[in-house]
């Protein structure tokens, strides 16, 4: 046997070449993701610069009036869009975080194995529904229902898509939080239970503190998902570019603005056209920051055990 | 095999004893009667009868997988955390059947502390670890908590080592210190019985020694059930020893007798190192 | 060892503990039900949503709808083109993300030294996962549609989607590779196998279920995405069915989008949109069941 | 032209594989006599307003005329479509406004010769809530006055009673499509003479949003193309406009350039690339077809047809392209 | 403590021996010289000198964490799978330093088989498990493979039990069978040395016995290094025993001597069960 192996020296050499080339190929593949990021930055940066040649950086980030299409006096300020984005995101987070977290707690700490096996995939279906469907749902169902309760609510508003976006990201928050809680070793739960703690006390005083980094990271990911969500707000939030806190009125998010302009009338070379790149760039930086934050948080708050 | 002989107990407890004993000294605190336990389809404990006496150290030995952990976890019903578990028979704790519907398991666990194989402190400060139990049970008073923490840490013979770093994370401690911290945590709720599942198996020799000494010390005030795979340890520290095999109690007697004149061939095989 | 006199029940008053125990247990129970209710909120919304879609689509889904081509007449309109377009997307996105994703994962898990480069690529992938899909749309428009001159073709859409879902595949493949127990690797190395032999013969086969699940999840994300396609400029009216990667195409979510916004002109379009949603959800459901099935079937055999 | 009953490439394979062969033949002869089977693609983009009509025509063309030809209609909007047209990406470009000077220059610079054709007429419709029983009729002047900023009150918070004193004392809510739409441009340029719209107006991108908003607001008044009203008569009511000869309801009959609703009527356009028409017979065939059927199909999609003569003139113009 | 005495070896090897031996019977096949090993910052092996003789069974004993596994994994450089590992010193395998740059680790591992603590068959058929090694080394011929598989399974004393189910998944076997399968897998490449890291610690008594018998059998043709925490086992099956403590070799001698007259107090403490 060892002799046969010796005799296979020939193929050994071929093997060595394979061993050498494979990592190179794999690295090339891994680099595609880097190229993608570079690609995104390059696509956005050129046009963004063009935009800031025509519109002052200061005005863009400090003004409150966005009237890109006005033939007489176009004004570019991203604040109304940021406000729209923040408002819808805030609402979404207010829906998704409590429901997502309690769902995670229920699944991870209370539910029987069988119940979890049934409930978890069902909840995850929520994440699989195309956002366009949610948009439709928000506009034709949630808004009318809400209007029965809230008289002043406009047919397009920030509230309804915010809520629906929240529902959409429940599974994300629930899933990731549940993972974080599941990875808390059982020995810790046992330690607490052996002291006579109830399930609730175990959960809130041991499991959640131990899983907090993962839980917060899930919130942050949920937030960045909400920030980047497009179709729900495009359909259900209208296109008013008001700088307002009034969530009962139509608002526009950064993403919806990009859809409006790209599917609209903007001619290349005009400030409107360039403005979508400046908005996209801002959006990119926003989500980038959120992700960095998520990573920082999971590192910073990771409990050692 | 070097067996450290212990002072003989006056009263010989019959294996499979069923009558309640009378003398205070050998009062049965935990009485297991006809206990069977299944994980799903597989039976892990078979018709266990085992009286555990107050202020004794009862050692449970046996090869891996024989059901030692399962049994000790049944004593505080921790085994029920495994969803598929089913039991028949009864365990009387101070005369009350812990499997009864009305029996509140949290109350049981307040009386019966547990120390695990791997030290499992919470990822909190040393202080918070020890204070956890009292806090859960409603003690809020800072001063009382401080007293309890100090007393428990002293009881677990770790006070001197940690008194200056009570606010540091428990994971900064060595394994042996962590294990003693867990014992302190368990003492903080002033239990009646302490269950220990191979408490030294993850520890180095020196820490092992410390914990063993501690067990001897604690015996004065607590009843202790200790699982161990280290026969020398069982011989050194326990008053009574139960030998488990395949979910059954093969032999249960005074420790010195189990190690010097085992009644069952399988026990002999095991303690002479034929298997395990 | 100094032994303080430990008297029982010195601090812990058992009566008090017992009295508090009632409250604690009750709270525990109450909260448990609260959490259960909360868990069901999402499901209730899901049920309403599905019910409404089902009602709107009732009577509109039939063989003709599935196999006919697009038309502005709702009575004869079908989604054969959109279905085919979506299938084409999957056909390209699947292999592309699988090859790129697995390669990246292997590189990161098995080859890359844990250092700057490794954490740079890893961070980069995590960031890409958070980039809004519409930004990917802009990238695809600039690079694939314009620069490469693919136009709004299947290949341009598929490549855009591939980049969009790549992080999903990479992360799940990484997880799958990581969860291959070390002892299997050791066994292989122990036989004198080289690194690549070990990866090829042991690591990859053992991580296939995880990878497959990731690819399926990525696919279901890809076929549900609308925003990037809107930016790419998919034609609203396209009757021919795409027959190759270079053909122009439309996909199910685009059809839903256009029919939704045009329902204001022809009310029946709302029904067509709902019917298309049902079809899309059905595809997603099948994909997800497949993922669950794979997960269950191959769950930890070692 | 009639392709009916002929064996066209029903399957997609036949459609594309046939493409190359016939393509070669046709460019040689460069004619498209009736009955000849064409193939290839006609790419159209541009106005979302014109889209329903053009999509309808394209569909009829593919079913009844040339099964082998794929006409792709997109709806990026007038200007965005024009941008693609200028780059030579499309063969026809729909527009809800006339071509701009800069666009013509760019076309020239790119060596593209194009011609602008009218396709149909759209009547700008003023709509209100169906429960609104006071403003069913308004004068042209009233419309022109109330939609302009600062005309009635400084704050643009206008009461119905500010318009006519016997109307309710409730605030008017204005709605309209945003500047992304040619309809907005037409309204501002042609109706209110390039004055600014009232500040309180709610401008939206999607017509579905507008229809919903107005249908749920008793004090709403809004404007958009006739098609969006015609398909939502349950939820909306059109204001009859008095242009001096009594109130006129917009309808397919009244929307004519010289018709009773004339002042609020505008043409919608398509721009044809002459280069494409010369090189690709299918483009020319389709362009001809547009003017053959535009009058039949306009009504179905909410437009009024152009006068017969005008269509014929344009048809001849297309036919004359060599 | 029951020590099974083994026939005395003629030549007493000095601990920390440095000269090459001459007689065939005690030819040193592996010679470890001044080996230090660090995991990141923590040193796991400290200045190890250990000559391992051909056709002997060398047992390595010591408490948990003392570096037994680390050492045995260093012998076939498997320890390098941990990225942060750093070594100094040398290990000569048949006179060549395995840490040398030009040394091909795959070749080394082809000569040196390894059996692990937990049976680790591949999730493949029994046949494929055994054929894995030969295949990896380029043997494709069906017939040869079949012969190798049969021979190896016979060598591992498991052929009779599995010959009718060679195509079934290896995970269908019992733990003991799996472990013998892993031994068969290792025999398939006809190694020179077999390293075993607690090969019986996850097995039941019966399987343990089988594997022990097998080790005795294999000794005739192979040199074996076996790590075990079971001192009785070491005493039963090995010719030489090395006692590790905290990464150091405290004692290395003929097995009977280590167990009957340990030179070092710590060894004595350990084998009398004072710790571990
Ligand atoms: N959660 C579980 N589900 C199913 N079977 C289990 C579970 N836990 C233990 N078992 C089985 O029950 C039997 C007894 O296990 P147990 O853990 O009590 O053994 P043990 O004596 O403590 O062993 P060790 O010395 O290895 O800790 C074993 O056969 C084990 O496989
Ligand atoms: N991958 C690793 N990274 C860092 N330290 C390690 C690693 N593996 C082992 N160690 C450390 O090296 C020391 C020796 O470990 P090793 O596994 O060799 O012990 P062992 O004698 O085999 O113990 P056991 O009987 O528990 O298997 C221990 O202190 C351990 O914590
Ligand atoms: Mg155990
Ligand atoms: Mg080890
Ligand atoms: O889409 P428009 O026709 O209004 O430009």
- All partners of chain C with 3 or more CB pairs under 8 angstroms: A, B, D, E
Domain co-membership, A161 together with A43: no
From chain D, pick out residues whose CB is under 8 angstroms from the CB of A261.
180
What pLDDT score does B19 carry? 39
Closest CA to C244 of C156, C138, C142, C166: C156
In the prediction, which pLDDT does D57 show?
A: 92
What stretches in chain D show pLDDT beneath 50? 1-33
Bridge partners, E112 (sequence order): E193
Domains of chain E (ranges, CATH numbers): 23-271 (3.40.50.300)
Determine if ligand 1 sits within 6 Å of the CB of residue B122: no
Residues of A in contact with B186 (CB under 8 A): 194-195
* A72 within domain boundaries: no
Same domain, A149 and A204: yes
CB-nearest to A122 from C43, C270, C281 is: C43
Q: Pull the structure tokens for residue D310.
A: 């005008």
pLDDT tens digits for chain C (302 residues)? 444 444 444 677 777 788 888 888 889 889 999 999 999 999 999 999 999 999 998 888 888 888 888 888 888 888 888 999 999 999 999 999 999 999 999 999 989 888 888 989 999 998 898 899 999 999 998 899 888 988 889 999 999 999 999 999 999 999 999 888 888 888 888 888 888 989 998 999 888 888 888 888 899 889 889 889 988 888 877 777 888 888 888 899 999 988 888 888 888 998 999 999 999 989 888 888 888 788 777 765 55
Q: Is residue A63 part of a domain?
A: no
Q: In this complex, how many residue pairs, one in chain A and one in chain B, have their CB atoms less than 8 Å apart?
A: 77
Q: Which chains touch E (3 or more CB pairs under 8 A)?
A: A, B, C
Which CATH number, 1.10.150.530, 3.30.390.30, 3.30.450.20, 1.10.3720.10, labels domain C63-298?
A: 1.10.3720.10
What pLDDT is recorded for position B128?
92
Q: How far is E236 from chain B (nearest CA, A)?
A: 10
Domains: count for chain A:
2
The answer for A 72-91 residues in CB contact with C (under 8 A) is: none
> Is A135 within a domain?
yes
* Residue A198, domain member (yes or no): yes
Do A128 and A239 lie in a common domain? yes
The Cα A13–Cα B71 span in angstroms is 58
Same domain, A153 and A248: yes
Share of chain D above pLDDT 90, in %: 20
Assess whether the C-beta atom of B69 lies below 6 angstroms from ligand 1.
Answer: yes
Q: Is residue A233 part of a domain?
A: yes
Say if residue B8's pLDDT is above 60. Answer: no
- To the nearest whole Å, the CA of A297 is away from the closest chain B CA by 17
Query: Which is the closest atom of ligand 2 to the Cα of E69?
Result: 22
Of C99, C125, C96, the closest CA to residue A34 belongs to C125
- pLDDT band with cut points at 50, 70 and 90 for residue E102: confident
| pLDDT digits 0-9 by tens, B10-61 | 333 333 333 344 444 578 999 999 999 999 888 999 999 999 999 899 999 9
CA angle A251, A254, A256 (to 5 degrees): 70
The answer to whether the CB atoms of B106 and C21 lie below 8 A apart is yes
- Residue C2 touches partner E, C-beta closer than 8 Å: no
pLDDT at A5: 64
Give the CATH number, domain containing residue A156.
1.10.3720.10
- Contact: E83, C192; criterion CB under 8 Å: no
| Cβ contact, residue pair A1, E138, below 8 Å | no
Q: Which of A34, A137, A235 sits opposite C121 (nearest CB)?
A: A34
**Cβ separation C17–B154 shorter than 8 A:** no
> Among all ligands shown, which has an atom nearest to the Cα of E66?
2
Q: What's residue E8's pLDDT? A: 35
Among chain C residues, CA nearest to E195: C190
Three-state SS sequence of chain D: CCCCCCCCCCCHHHHHHHHHHHHHHHHHHCCCCCCCCCCEEEEEEECCCCHHHHHHHHHHHHHHHCCCEEEEECCCCHHHHHHHHHCCCCCEEEECCCCCHHHHHHHHHCCCCEEEEEEEEEEEEEEECCCCCCCCEEEHHHHHHHCECCCCCCCCCCEHHHHCCCCCCCECEEEEECCCCHHHHHHHHHHCCCCCECCCCEEECCHHHHHHHHHCCCCEEEEEEHHHHHCCCCCCEECEEECCCCEECCCCCCCCCCCCCHHHEEEEEEEEEHHHHHHCHHHHHHHHHHHHHHHHHHHHHCCECCCHHHHHHHHHHHHCCC
Shared-domain flag, residues A117 and A262: yes
Chains B and E touch (3+ CB pairs under 8 A): yes
- Phi, psi at B31, each rounded to 5°: -125, 115
Mean pLDDT of E180-205: 86
Instruction: Compute and round to an integer the Cα radius of gyration of chain A.
Output: 25
User: Considering CB atoms only, which of C182, C184, C189 is closest to E122?
Assistant: C184
Same domain, A143 and A11: no
What does the block give as tokens for D224?
A: 């958009």
pLDDT at res. B276 = 52
Residue A92 falls inside a structural domain = yes
Instruction: Please state, as a whole number, how many other Cβ atoms lie within 10 Å of the Cβ of residue D63.
Output: 16
Which numbered atom of ligand 1 lies nearest the CA of B198? 27
Domain check: are A113 and A222 in the same one? yes
- A229 and A107 belong to one structural domain: yes
Torsion of CA D149, D154, D160, D163, to 10 degrees: -70
**Full domain range(s) for residue A40:** 2-53
pLDDT in tens, B170-228: 888 888 889 889 989 998 988 989 999 988 876 766 778 888 888 988 888 889 999 98
Output the pLDDT for position E57. 93
Using CA atoms, how far residue A253 sits from A78, A236, A242, A282, D176, in Å, is 10, 11, 11, 12, 20
Are A48 and A86 found together in one domain?
A: no
Closest ligand 2 atom number to CA of residue E66 = 21
Same domain assignment for residues A12 and A136: no
List chain C residues with CB under 8 Å of E193. none
Shared domain check, A242 and A98: yes
Q: Which residues of chain A have pLDDT under 50?
A: none
Long-range CB contacts (within 8 A, 24+) of B161-170: B162/B126, B165/B126, B166/B125, B166/B126, B166/B127, B167/B125, B167/B126, B167/B127, B168/B125, B168/B126, B169/A304, B169/B123, B169/B124, B169/B125, B169/B126, B170/B121, B170/B122, B170/B123, B170/B124, B170/B125, B170/B126, B170/B129
The sheet that has B42-53: what strands, in order across it? B42-53, B28-39, B85-93, B96-97
Q: Please report residues of A whose CB lies closer than 8 A to that of B126.
A: none
Calculated CA dihedral for residues B239, B244, B250, B256, nearest 10 degrees = -20
Question: Tell me, what's the ipTM?
Answer: 0.78
DSSP state string for C24-77 = HHHHHHHHHHHHHHHHHHHHHHHHHHHHHHHHHHTTT-SHHHHHS---SSTTT-
Task: For chain C, say whether D208 makes contact (Cβ under 8 Å).
Answer: yes
C-alpha D172: how far from chain center: 28
- Find the ligand nearest to B39 CA: 1
* CA atoms of B175 and B173, how far apart (whole Å): 7
Region of E206 (left: φ > 0; alpha: ψ -120 to 50; beta: rest) is: alpha
Of B1, B274, B275, the CB nearest to E1: B1
Give the residue on C whose Cα is nearest the Cα of A30. Answer: C104
How far apart CA A168 and CA C42 sit, in angstroms, is: 9
Point out the ligand nearest to the CA of residue B42.
1
Q: CB-CB: which of C43, C100, C196 is closest to A22?
A: C196
**Which is nearest to E79 in space by CA: C195, C189, C111, A23?**
C189
Q: Does A116 lie at the interface with D, CB-CB under 8 angstroms?
A: no
Q: Are residues A19 and A145 in the same domain?
A: no
Phi, psi of A170, rounded to the nearest 5 degrees: -55, -50
d(CA A5, CA E110): 9
E66 lines ligand 2 (CB under 6 A): yes
Chain A contact present for E111, CB below 8 A: yes
Say yes or no: CB of residue A265 within 6 Å of ligand 5: yes
Residue with tokens 């899309």: C280
> How many A from CA of B54 to the centre of ligand 5?
90
Q: Residue holding tokens 């889209």?
A: D51
Round to whole Å and give the CA distance between A250 and C72: 31
Q: Give residue E209's Cα distance to chain centre.
A: 17
- Ligand 2 within 6 A of E99 CB? no
Name chain B's partners: 3 or more CB pairs within 8 A: A, C, E
Helix (H, G, I), strand (E, B) or coil at C267: coil
Task: Answer yes or no: is pLDDT of B274 > 70.
Answer: no
What is the C153 CA–ligand 5 centroid distance (Å)?
Answer: 24
């Amino acid at each position: 046997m060892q002799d046969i192996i010796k005799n296979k020296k020939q193929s050994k050499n071929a093997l060595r070449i394979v061993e050498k080339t494979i990592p190179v190929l794999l690295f090339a593949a891994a680099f595609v993701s880097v190229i993608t990021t570079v690609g995104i930055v390059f696509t956005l940066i050129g046009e963004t610069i063009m935009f800031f040649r025509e519109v002052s950086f200061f005005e863009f980030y400090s003004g409150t009036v966005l009237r890109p299409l006005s033939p007489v006096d176009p004004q570019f300020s991203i604040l109304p869009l940021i406000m729209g984005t923040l408002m819808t995101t805030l609402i979404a987070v207010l829906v998704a975080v409590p429901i997502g977290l309690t769902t995670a707690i229920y699944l991870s700490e209370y539910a029987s194995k069988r119940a979890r096996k049934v409930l978890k995939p069902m909840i995850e279906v929520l994440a699989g529904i195309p956002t366009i469907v949610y948009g439709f749902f928000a506009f034709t169902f949630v808004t009318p229902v809400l209007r029965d309760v809230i008289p002043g609510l406009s047919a397009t508003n920030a509230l309804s898509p915010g809520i629906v976006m929240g529902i959409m990201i429940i599974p994300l928050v629930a899933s990731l939080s549940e993972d974080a809680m599941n990875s808390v070793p059982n020995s810790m739960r046992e330690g607490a239970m052996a002291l006579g703690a109830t399930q609730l006390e175990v959960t809130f005083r041991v499991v959640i503190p131990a899983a907090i980094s993962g839980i917060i990271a899930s919130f942050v990911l949920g937030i960045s998902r909400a920030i980047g969500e497009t179709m729900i707000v495009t359909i259900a939030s209208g296109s008013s570019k008001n700088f307002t806190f009034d969530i009962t009125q139509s608002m526009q998010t950064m993403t919806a603005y990009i859809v409006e302009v790209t599917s609209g009338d903007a001619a290349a070379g005009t400030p409107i056209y360039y403005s979508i790149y400046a908005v996209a760039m801002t959006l990119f930086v926003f989500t980038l920051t959120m992700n960095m934050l998520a990573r920082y948080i999971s590192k910073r708050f990771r409990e050692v055990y | 095999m070097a067996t450290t002989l212990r002072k003989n107990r006056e009263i010989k407890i019959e294996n499979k004893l069923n009558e309640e004993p009378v003398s205070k000294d050998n009062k049965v605190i935990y009485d297991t009667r006809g206990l069977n336990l299944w994980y799903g389809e597989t039976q892990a404990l078979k018709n266990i009868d085992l009286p555990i006496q107050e202020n004794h150290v009862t050692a449970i030995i046996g090869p891996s997988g024989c059901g030692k952990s399962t049994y000790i976890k049944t004593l505080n019903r921790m085994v029920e955390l495994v969803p598929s578990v089913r039991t028949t028979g009864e365990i009387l704790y101070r005369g009350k059947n812990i499997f009864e519907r009305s029996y509140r398991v949290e109350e049981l666990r307040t009386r019966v502390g547990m120390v695990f194989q791997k030290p499992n402190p919470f990822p909190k400060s040393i202080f918070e670890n020890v204070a956890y139990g009292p806090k859960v049970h409603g003690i809020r008073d800072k001063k009382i908590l401080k007293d309890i923490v100090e007393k428990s840490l002293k009881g677990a013979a770790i006070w001197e080592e940690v008194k200056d770093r009570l606010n540091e994370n428990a994971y900064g401690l060595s394994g042996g210190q962590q294990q003693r911290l867990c014992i302190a945590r368990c003492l903080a709720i002033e239990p009646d019985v302490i269950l220990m599942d191979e408490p030294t198996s993850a520890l180095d020799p020196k820490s092992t020694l410390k914990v063993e000494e501690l067990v001897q010390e604690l015996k004065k005030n607590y009843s202790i059930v200790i699982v161990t795979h280290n026969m020398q340890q069982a011989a050194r520290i326990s008053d009574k020893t139960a030998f488990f095999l395949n979910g059954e109690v093969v032999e249960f007697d005074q420790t010195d007798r189990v190690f010097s004149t085992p009644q069952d061939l399988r026990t002999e095989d095991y303690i002479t190192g034929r298997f395990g | 060892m100094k032994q303080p006199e430990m008297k029982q029940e010195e601090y812990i008053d058992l009566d008090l503990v017992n009295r508090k125990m009632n409250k604690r247990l009750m709270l525990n129970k109450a909260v448990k039900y609260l959490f259960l209710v909360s868990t069901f909120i999402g499901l209730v919304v899901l049920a309403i949503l599905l019910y409404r879609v089902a009602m709107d689509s009732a009577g509109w889904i039939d063989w003709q709808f599935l196999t006919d081509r697009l038309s502005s007449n709702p009575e004869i309109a079908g989604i054969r083109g959109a279905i085919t377009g979506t299938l084409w997307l999957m056909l390209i996105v699947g292999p592309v993300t699988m090859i790129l994703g697995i390669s990246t994962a292997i590189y990161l898990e098995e080859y890359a030294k844990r250092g700057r480069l490794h954490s740079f690529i890893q961070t980069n992938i995590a960031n890409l996962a958070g980039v809004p899909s519409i930004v990917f749309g802009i990238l695809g428009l600039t690079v694939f549609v314009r620069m490469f001159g693919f136009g709004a073709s299947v290949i341009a859409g598929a490549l855009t989607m591939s980049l969009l879902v790549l992080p999903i595949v990479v992360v799940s493949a990484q997880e799958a590779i990581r969860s291959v127990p070390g002892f299997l690797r050791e066994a292989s190395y122990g036989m004198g196998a080289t690194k690549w032999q070990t990866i090829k013969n042991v690591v990859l086969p053992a991580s296939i279920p995880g990878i497959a699940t990731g690819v399926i999840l990525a696919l279901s994300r890809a076929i549900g995405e609308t925003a990037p396609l809107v930016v790419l400029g998919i034609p609203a009216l396209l009757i021919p069915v795409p027959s190759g990667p270079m053909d122009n195409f439309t996909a199910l979510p685009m059809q839903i989008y256009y029919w939704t916004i045009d329902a204001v002109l022809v009310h029946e379009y709302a029904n067509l949109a709902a019917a298309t949603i049902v079809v899309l959800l059905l595809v997603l459901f099948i994909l997800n069941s497949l993922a669950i099935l794979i997960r269950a079937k191959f769950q930890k055999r070692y | 032209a009639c392709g009916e009953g002929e064996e066209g490439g029903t399957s997609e394979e036949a459609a594309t594989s046939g493409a190359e062969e016939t393509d070669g033949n046709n460019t040689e002869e460069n004619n498209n006599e009736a009955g000849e089977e064409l193939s290839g693609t006609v790419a159209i983009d541009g106005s979302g307003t014109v889209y329903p009509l053009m999509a309808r025509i394209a569909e009829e063309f593919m079913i009844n005329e040339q099964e082998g030809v794929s006409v792709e209609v997109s709806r990026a909007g007038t200007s965005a479509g024009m941008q693609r047209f200028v780059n030579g990406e499309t063969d026809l470009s729909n527009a809800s406004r006339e071509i701009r000077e800069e666009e013509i220059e760019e076309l020239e610079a790119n060596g593209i010769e194009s011609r602008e054709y009218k396709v149909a007429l759209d009547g700008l419709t003023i709509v209100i809530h169906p429960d609104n029983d006071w403003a069913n009729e308004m004068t042209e002047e009233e419309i022109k006055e109330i939609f302009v900023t600062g005309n009635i009150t400084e704050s643009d918070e206008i009461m119905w009673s500010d318009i006519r004193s016997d109307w309710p004392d409730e605030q008017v809510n204005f709605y309209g499509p945003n500047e992304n739409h040619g309809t907005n441009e037409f309204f501002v340029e042609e109706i209110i003479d390039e004055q600014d719209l009232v500040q309180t107006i709610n401008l939206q991108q999607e017509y579905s949003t507008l229809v919903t908003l107005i249908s749920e607001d008793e004090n709403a008044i809004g404007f958009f193309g006739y098609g969006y009203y015609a398909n939502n008569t349950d939820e909306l009511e059109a204001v009859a406009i008095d242009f001096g000869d009594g109130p006129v309801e917009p309808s397919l009959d009244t929307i004519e350039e010289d018709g009773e609703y004339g002042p609020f009527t505008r043409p919608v356009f398509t721009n044809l690339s002459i280069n494409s028409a010369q090189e690709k017979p299918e483009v020319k065939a389709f362009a001809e077809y547009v003017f053959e059927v535009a009058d039949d199909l306009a009504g179905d999609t909410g437009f009024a047809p152009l006068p017969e003569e005008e269509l014929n003139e344009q048809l001849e113009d297309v036919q004359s392209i060599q």
